[in-house]
Amino acid sequence: MKTRACFCAALLLCGAAQAEKNETAGTVLTVAISAAAFGSTFYMDDPEGRTQFYPAFLTNLVATEALKYTVQRERPDASDKHSFPSGHTSIAFQGAAFIHQRYGFEYAIPAYLLGAYVGYTRVDAKKHYTSDVLAGAALGIVSSFYFVDPYTKAIVSPVVSENYYGVQLAAKW
């Protein structure tokens, strides 16, 4: 039920975003996806997820900016030489991948769809080439999948001592 509600909300948001100019809509959605990913840690009462969000977000941001200034690929509109990779797309996909890795793919579907729309807006606005957008998406996904563990309410761990071997079950409430 939550998945359907999230998907319907994403479609409405996407429809509203299309009414705006593509470039502005892409920027708004970039922030919204990242904020939704971070906000989900509060909704789920998940401080561990919140602490995993920080390094995923910061690593993605630093890697994206470092590549922009190292590669220096000219944008399609010739406005500067910071086309590769797409920062908007990397941030959007980092948020989508965070939701995916932490809470499950079914919750991330709307975020991935909106992230793809963000990438489309960047190409449509002549700010990026398709390869810039694909690289940004890959950076965002990899950063979240590297730093983020799946959310579980129950944790099973081995317990080993000199005279005892067993399993410990811990639950998060």
* Dihedral class, residue 122 (left if φ above 0, else alpha if ψ from -120 to 50, else beta): alpha
| CB proximity list for 62: less than 8 A, separation 6 or greater | none
| pLDDT tens sequence for the chain (173 residues) | 455 555 545 554 555 444 346 788 889 999 999 999 999 999 999 999 999 999 999 999 999 999 999 999 999 999 999 999 999 999 999 999 999 999 999 999 999 999 999 999 999 999 999 999 999 999 999 999 999 999 987 555 677 777 776 666 555 55
**Number of domains present in the structure of the chain:** 1
pTM score, two decimals?
A: 0.78
Domain that holds residue 161: 2-171
